[in-house]
A and B are shown apart, each in its own frame.
Chain A
Amino acid sequence: MAQTTNERYRANPVRSKKRSWPFPLNIYQTAVGRKWVMALTGIGLIGFVVAHMVGNLHVYEGPARMHEYAESLRTLAGGIVPKGFILWLLRLGLILMFGLHLHSAITLRNFSGQSSNSATLVGGAKKYAGGRDHIAANYASRTMRWTGPIIALFLFYHLADLTWGWWLGDDFVPGDPYHNVSQSLASIPVAILYIVANIALALHIFHGAWSMFQSLGVNNPKYNHLRRGLATALAGIILVGNLSFPIFTQTGLINEDNRKCPASDVNVLECLAEQAEGH
């Protein structure tokens, strides 16, 4: 390094450079690399959200088709690998992506916090006494750090609700998602919770889907103007699709009034399978 006698006046690094990890882990050591990981996992997670939403549209085809869809996920590549194997692989992938997305978000937030620590810190964000007119930053970009945790907490609730059946208790029927969904979302507080969480998700995606182009450096003046539109459309479709479930349950479109295989039946799953086959 340069020797400078007035080194004492040159601002000191906020953090020192750590020993480099072996490739490719070293990419994750830097903020730019970490943002890159965040963007890639973001793409994966958006892909999941879209697939999840599209798959769930089967609910509008009735309990049997919904059961068939759920079953088809478990039997992916069936025959070659044990039942549920691929689903678990996908789940592991999702957990990994989610973990990386979360870890990078938290560590980068701290990273930026350190870089602003001499500033007047209010609520963890850099503030000026003269107020801050956010000129470019929009509501979605500024609230990423709030919509993120909301989504994570909701995810936990959602898994407990419809995968593990914690709150439905005895009323939870593994393998009959139609029943579980209509039971859960029939409650007004739960429906509101789903609506709020999905709005947060849409906001998160609205900024994230635009931001990832920047983070990955996918940039071409020829199509840059489309990025905002794409993010809006993506967020919009996911919002509409996901909000339809609680709303339609509340309005009665999704209900169990006309079920052929009652959920209370012990043989409900066989009944559903038969019904789907005969379709």
Chain B
Amino acid sequence: MSTNNGETINVTVKVWRQDGPSDKGHFETYEQPVTTDASFLEMLDLLNESLNEQGGEPIVFESDCREGICGTCGVMINGRAHGPQKATATCQLHMREFKDGDEIVVEPFRAAGFPVIRDLAVDRSPLDRIIEAGGYISVNTGAASDANLTPVPKDAADKAFDAAACIGCGACVAACPNSAAQLFTSAKIGHLALLPQGQAERWSRTENMVEVMEEFFGSCTNHGECHEACPKEISLDFIAFMNRDYVKAKVKNRALSGQA
């Protein structure tokens, strides 16, 4: 009746332990047997369970939905954000991607804009700041007109969705050699700039969001690592789109183009 091959493997887990933001931090190495059907985070759950039994403190890592959509989870696994599987958030990664005897190095997402809180948990609040700076369409509750009053070409709506699929996990920043947040920011700018509803604030939004982004994150050198790390495979095209809109925003006569 068994249709899957839930074999048990032994892995060596080298985990970053850091007591708090000011602690220096270090790696600890643990051995953990686990079935290949378990998810990567369940492997960490098991490890925590045994740490608890031995009187140790469990490893702090964040996760919530464990369905790859909330963006809470995210660690570096063997130097890759969210681990080896493409288009997969950490919580959806399963142990069948690993072999018996593998050493797995687990580290927090790193960037100056993502200070470590404890162990593998980092503070990604700068991403909220970027949204706060303009990642919205200003429409008060009740002020909306009928939804079908403004047709949106299907291609534009689909493309906007591709950008809106971003889960805000921060893997793009972690994977970027420059710690740039271009993919995250451009996904939001692209999402809103592609829709007719987003036109009124298009230029001020782009300008404000980019400038807040630059207070926290590095400069994009077009490596493309972010796209590879992105669990939603958001396209680099949005970065180009944002770059163009940003310079346009700086130059444009907004009053006479009817836009803010």
Contacts and interface: CB of A to CB of B under 8 A. Distances in A.
A136 B223 contact: yes
Contacts of B105: 128-131
22 contacts: A9-B123, A11-B114, A13-B216, A15-B214, A23-B250, A30-B211, A30-B246, A32-B214, A32-B219, A111-B214, A115-B180, A115-B219, A116-B218, A118-B116, A130-B106, A135-B225, A136-B223, A137-B224, A215-B222, A215-B240, A217-B245, A224-B237
Contacts of B139: none
A211 B222 contact: yes
A27 to B, nearest CB: 5
B99 interface: no
B77 interface: yes
Interface string B193-234: 000000000000000001100111111111111011100000
Nearest to A219: B240
A229 to B, nearest CB: 17
B227 A217 contact: no
B67 interface: no
Q: Is the interface of B mostly helix, strand, loop or mixed?
A: mixed
B211 A11 contact: no
B113 A115 contact: yes
Contacts of A128: 76, 79, 105, 107, 110
Contact of A217 (B16, B117, B123, B241): B241
A244 interface: no
A214 interface: yes
A219 B241 contact: yes
Which 3 residue pairs are nearest across A and B when measured between Cβ atoms? A217-B244, A130-B105, A112-B218
A268 B180 CA distance: 57
Given A134-B225, A141-B223, A2 B132 contact: yes
